[in-house]
Structure 1
Amino acid sequence: MKMTEKHLQTGDALPPYNGRLRLFAMRFCPYAGRCVLVLNAKNIPYDVVYINLTKKPEWIFNFSPKGAVPALEYQKGKALFDSNVINTYLDEEYPEYPLQATDPLRRAQDQLVVENFNTVITAYFTAAYNPQGLQPSHPEIFHKGLELLQKELETRGTEFLHGEEAGMVDYTLWPFLERFEALPLGNAEFALDKSNYETLLTYMESMKQLPAVTSNYLPPDIYAKFTDSFVTGSGGLRASEALSTKPL
């Protein structure tokens, strides 16, 4: 459930708190997307308040010291921030459908998968939001990281990294994998060719079928349109415009 259809900004009032978990997010933020996926996967009732990150409402700093998203209001006026912190809390506070591996070694291995993936994320952000800073090494870093992820999928031999059902590690990586599909629209060096990524692309198709993912999925052209608005210096694209082909 979403409390606001627009991204609230400076001067806008904080919507009243109704007692449910409340996630402060930005529709195109992959880190906030991680929390949305976990909340959806665990079927936890919650509300979303979207934040304009270029014109932040004054009250967001009461929930997140730096005004960053995501932030989760778990009691009135009390919040957690950082996607990994929030998702670990959600998985332990609402244990009915656990998303983390029960085996300590596998949990550690999952954390290493996420850690290794950070190099891919860095290359993605450069390609998407700072193309003028793109170096010849960035596509190589991007593909080496994805090859490592594909090898991990092949080694585990399950439909998802977590197993035959998706888990925390999958929902942590997915918001970025979803956005990677938009990169070839602006730079073919970042294309995920099927001849090189058959296992990874099969995994991505499996992720797209999950209810937690389908309810929040956006097609590549929407992400490309949004990021291009920043690259071209057009002042940022309003979420309502970017989402004109898919309702919130």
Structure 2
Amino acid sequence: MSEKHLQTGDALPPFGGKLRLFAMRFCPYAERSVLVLNAKNIPYDLVFINLDQKPEWIFNFSPRGAVPALEYEQGKGIFDSNVINVYLDEKYPEVPLQAADPLRRAQDKLIVENFSAAQSAYYTAAFNAQALQPSHLENYHKGLELLQKELETRGTKFLHGDQAGLVDYTLWPFLERFEALPLLGKSEYAIDKSKYVILLTYMESMKQVPAVKTYYLSADMHAKFTESRVKGDPNYNMLDSSAEVCCFRPRKKKE
């Protein structure tokens, strides 16, 4: 699969008769839908787009040009990862990813909602460090603590149970990226091994889930892309080139 991101002026690839997901390789929201498609073993095509120079046709599937967008029939699309993923789970029920119990489904949604402040803190720390406030760090670690407490309370390998489910695939893309923050000079955002034993065990288990393993990128990769974006020249196609991408040098923390 090519990692090339199509941009303004590029033609829409021919429709192949399968579901087609429009994404950006480093977007956590798009990754959510990739993981769900993988977990449900649904055949699909994946098209990456440049979010700074968007191809004109993406607006036919997503009015704001945002990803992910899912082409469920030729020329017809829906967008927003939450909308897409619930649709996929209900349309293709053979591998259910949501809890059967309505209360547990509600609780799973609350976990995701309560984690949103940690996600917001990540974005500020990674892409807008000059705007960081003490509350960002507090919200970040509060989110991690709440997630670890939930894992401890449930006592299962994954939040969904013995197998990863929609709640896990919804949270995972951000946890994957959190590990890049220390490489970006934000050591205070590290997920400490002594404090987050249960959470880190969970994260290692998630990395081995087949749906995740085939799409996972290392902290080094995420840090390298983040650096390019912060500099104003996001290297969308860094995985589709022969350039060396495995030796990212951590950014020195400013005193």
Alignment TM-score, normalising by the size of structure 1: 0.95
Letter in 1 for 2:24: M
**Rounded Cα–Cα distance in structure 1 between residues aligned with 2:112 and 2:129:** 24
Quote the offset at 1:138 in angstroms: 1.0
* 3-state DSSP of counterpart to 1:54: coil
Is 1:26–1:69's contact at 8 Å kept on the other side of the alignment?
yes
**Rounded Cα–Cα distance in structure 2 between residues aligned with 1:39 and 1:115:** 22
Please list every run of 5 or more consecutive structure 1 residues that lacks an aligned counterpart in the other structure: none
Is 2:62–2:79's contact at 8 Å kept on the other side of the alignment?
yes
**Rounded Cα–Cα distance in structure 1 between residues aligned with 2:59 and 2:211:** 29
**Rounded Cα–Cα distance in structure 1 between residues aligned with 2:63 and 2:5:** 19
**Rounded Cα–Cα distance in structure 2 between residues aligned with 1:71 and 1:195:** 39
Quote the offset at 1:19 in angstroms: 0.8
Quote the offset at 1:245 in angstroms: 5.8
Letter in 1 for 2:162: E
The structure-2 alpha-carbon separation of the partners of 1:241 and 1:107, relative to structure 1 and needing over 3 Å to count, comes to closer
Given candidates 78, 81, 85, the residue that maps to 1:80 is 78
Letter in 1 for 2:190: A
* 3-state DSSP of counterpart to 2:51: coil
Quote the offset at 1:139 in angstroms: 1.1
| Structure 1 segment 44-193 matched on structure 2, within 5 A | 44-186=42-184, 187-193=186-192
**Rounded Cα–Cα distance in structure 1 between residues aligned with 2:224 and 2:159:** 30
Within the alignment, does 1:40 sit opposite 2:30 as a pair? no
**Rounded Cα–Cα distance in structure 2 between residues aligned with 1:99 and 1:134:** 36
Equivalent residue number for residue 250 of structure 2? none
Equivalent residue number for residue 208 of structure 2? 209
Q: What RMSD, in angstroms, separates the aligned Cα atoms of the two structures? A: 1.5
Equivalent residue number for residue 232 of structure 1? 231
Letter in 1 for 2:48: Y
Is 1:124–1:180's contact at 8 Å kept on the other side of the alignment?
yes
Is 1:150–1:200's contact at 8 Å kept on the other side of the alignment?
yes
Quote the offset at 1:184 in angstroms: 1.0
**Rounded Cα–Cα distance in structure 2 between residues aligned with 1:242 and 1:144:** 37
| Residues 99-155 of structure 1 deviation map (CA, whole Å, 9 limit, x = unaligned) | 000000000000000000101100000001111111122111100111001000000
Equivalent residue number for residue 252 of structure 2? none
**Rounded Cα–Cα distance in structure 2 between residues aligned with 1:230 and 1:82:** 22
The structure-2 alpha-carbon separation of the partners of 1:181 and 1:199, relative to structure 1 and needing over 3 Å to count, comes to same
Is 1:222–1:242's contact at 8 Å kept on the other side of the alignment?
no
Percent identity reads 72
**Rounded Cα–Cα distance in structure 1 between residues aligned with 2:147 and 2:67:** 26
Q: How many residues get paired?
A: 244
* 3-state DSSP of counterpart to 2:37: helix
Is 2:50–2:236's contact at 8 Å kept on the other side of the alignment?
no
Alignment TM-score, normalising by the size of structure 2: 0.93
Please list every run of 5 or more consecutive structure 2 residues that lacks an aligned counterpart in the other structure: 246-255
Given candidates 20, 23, 26, the residue that maps to 1:22 is 20
* 3-state DSSP of counterpart to 1:155: helix
Equivalent residue number for residue 194 of structure 1? 193
Letter in 2 for 1:59: W
Quote the offset at 1:216 in angstroms: 0.2
**Rounded Cα–Cα distance in structure 1 between residues aligned with 2:29 and 2:13:** 22
**Rounded Cα–Cα distance in structure 2 between residues aligned with 1:196 and 1:171:** 23
| Residues 188-223 of structure 1 deviation map (CA, whole Å, 9 limit, x = unaligned) | 010000111000000000000111011001110110
* 3-state DSSP of counterpart to 2:115: helix
The structure-2 alpha-carbon separation of the partners of 1:17 and 1:93, relative to structure 1 and needing over 3 Å to count, comes to same
Given candidates 3, 6, 11, the residue that maps to 1:5 is 3
**Rounded Cα–Cα distance in structure 1 between residues aligned with 2:147 and 2:32:** 18
Letter in 2 for 1:230: R
